[in-house]
Amino acid sequence: MARRRVAGYLAAGAVGALAGGGLGAAVASSTVVPAQAAGPALSDVGTRTIPFNGPHQAGIADPARPQAHGWLAAFDLAERADRAALVALLRGWTAAAEALTAGRPVGAGDDPVVAGVGPSALTITLGFGGSLFGRAGVPITARPAGLAPLPAFGAEQLDPARSDGDLGLIVAGDDPIVVAHASRVLTRLAIGTARLRWQMSGFNAARGTSADAATTRNLMGQLDGTNNPRPVDPDFAARVFVPDDDPASWLRGGSYVVVRRIRMLLDAWDQLNPHAQELVIGRRRDTGAPLTGGDERAAADFGARTPSGALVIPESAHMRLAAPAFNRGAAMLRRGFSYVDGSESGLLFVAWQADPRHGFVPVQQRLVGADALGSFIRHETSALFAAPRGVDPGHYLGQLLMEG
Ligand code: HEM
C-alpha cells in the first residue's frame, strides 16, 4: 500500500508537471492516481509484468525479446552453510523474486529504490552449478548428467575467477534501476550463506525503440537471435526444456544455461569491409537476411553458388557451422546481453537448452577453428547451470532437489 501511494505521488507529479502545475503543486496534492495516468508522455515499459509462477522459470522463454538490462551472477556457498541455510536462501530468493517481479516491496523493510518505477518486465532466473552437488545436503547422486563440466574448447582464454559457481542468477528487466535493486536484494539475502563469486552487467536495445517482435542487434551490428527456436515451433519445448522422462526427476521441466563472456575484437572487426563482415556470418548486415536472398526469416540455401562456383554462404560462415542442420539437430535459445566494460566490449552469451551435450557442446566444438567469426571474438569466461522448473505459489525454486 505504501509503495502504491509513492507510485501515485510520482505519477501525480508527472501529471502536474505536464499540466504546467509544477512538481510542488503535484506533491502537495494527496490524490492517488495510477502510475502512467499521464497518457502518451509515458510508456508501458514500467508496468509490464512477466509472471513469476508457472511450469517454467520466467526469463527463459519469457519475455520473447530479451529485456534491455541484464545482471548475471554466480554465488559460492559459504563453508559452513548447511542444508537448512541453503533451503532458507532458496525460500528467501523465491519469495523476493515473487514480490519484485510483481512490483511489490520485499517485506516492510525494503528500501524505496524502485518506488514508483514498476516491475519493468523483471525476471529472476535461478540455476545450480555442478559444484553445488555433494554439499549443504544436496546429494551428489542428484547431479544431472548434463551438468558435467564443459570440455575445454580450443582458442578460449577462460578466467576461472569469473567462471562457474555453485548458484547462478540471471536478473533481467527493462529498467536499469529495477535490475540493480533486485540484484542488491538477492545479494543481501545471501549474506552468511553464499558469497558473490562474479557478476556481469549487460544491455539490449531499450523497449519501445523497435517492435517487440524485432530481433535485437549486438555490438558488431548484426541482428542476433534470428534463427532462435521459437515458442510456436513444434520442437521448441524439446529443444529448450528438460524432458519429463529425464533421470534427474527434480530437473524435469527445467533447462540448462551456458553463460559466456565473449569479448568482441572490434578493432579487427572494423577493418573488414561491410561485405566481408557479411561473409563471416552468412547474413546481410542491414536486414539480417541470409546471403542467398529473401527476408530475415527466409530459409538459407546452403548449396547455392556464385557464378564463379564459390558457395554464397561460405564454408566458414558462422550461421552455417552453427545451424542445427549441420549439428545433428543441436539447437539452443540464445538471449544474451551486450556489454561495454572500459575499453572492452562484447556479448554476454546466454544460451538455454534441454541438454548441453546436444546443444552448446557440439556446436561450439564445430565452431572452434572453423568459424570465420573466431578471429574476431574471444571466450573469456564460462559457466553452466541447471535451472529447475518453475514453481506455483507456496513453493520455492529447487524444492524438488532439496526435498525430493
Ligand atoms: C560474440 C559471439 C557471437 C556472435 C557475435 C554471434 C552472432 C551470431 C549471428 C549474427 C547469428 C545469425 C543470426 C541468428 O540466427 O541469430 C548467429 C547465429 C547463431 N549462433 Fe552465434 N554468435 C556468437 C557466438 C555463438 C556461440 C558461442 C554459439 C554456440 C556455441 C553460437 C550459436 C549460434 C547459433 C546456434 C546460431 C543460429 C544458426 C542457425 O540456425 O541459423 N553463436 N550468431
**For a pocket test of ligand 1, which of 334, 368, 371 has the largest count of ligand atoms closer than 8 A to its C-beta?**
334
Distance 11 CA to ligand 1 centre (A): 42
| Cα(374)–Cα(281) distance, integer angstroms | 11
263-299 pLDDT, tens digit each: 999 999 999 999 999 999 999 999 999 999 999 999 9
Distance in Å, CA 318 to ligand 1 centroid: 7
Residue 240: exposure state from Cβ atoms within 10 A (0-12, 13-18, ≥19):
buried
- As a whole number of angstroms, the distance between CA 227 and CA 334 comes to 9
First to last CA, the chain: 37
- Contact call for residues 372 and 316 (beta carbons, < 8 A): yes
C-alpha dihedral (370, 376, 380, 384), degrees to nearest 10:
-50
- pLDDT band of residue 225 (cuts 50, 70, 90) is very high
Please give the model's pTM, rounded to 2 decimal places: 0.91
pLDDT, tens digit, for every residue of 15-28?
233 333 333 333 33
Task: Give the DSSP H/E element, type plus range, for residue 383.
Answer: strand 383-387
Reading the block at residue 350, the C-alpha cell is: 546466454
DSSP H helical ranges for 170-226: 176-190
8/31 Cα distance (integer angstroms): 8
Per-residue confidence at 40, pLDDT binned at 50, 70, 90?
low
Segment 62-106, tens digit of pLDDT: 999 999 999 999 999 999 999 999 999 999 999 999 999 999 999
Using CA atoms, how far apart are residues 24 and 29, in angstroms rounded to an integer?
A: 9
- Which residues line the pocket of ligand 1, CB cutoff 6 A? 218, 220, 222-227, 262, 264, 281, 283, 318-319, 322-324, 332, 346-347, 349, 360, 363-364, 367, 373, 377
- pLDDT bin (cut points 50, 70, 90) of residue 43 is confident
At residue 404, the pLDDT reads 80
Task: List, for residues 189-207, the tens digit of each pLDDT value.
Answer: 999 999 999 999 999 999 9
SS3 233: coil
Q: What type of residue sits at position 252?
A: R
pLDDT for position 50: 98
Q: What pLDDT does residue 118 have? A: 94
Q: Is 224 a catalytic site residue?
A: yes
Catalytic residue among 110, 174, 175, 224: 224
The secondary structure of residue 298, as a DSSP letter, is: S
Ligand 1 atom with least separation from CA of 330: 35
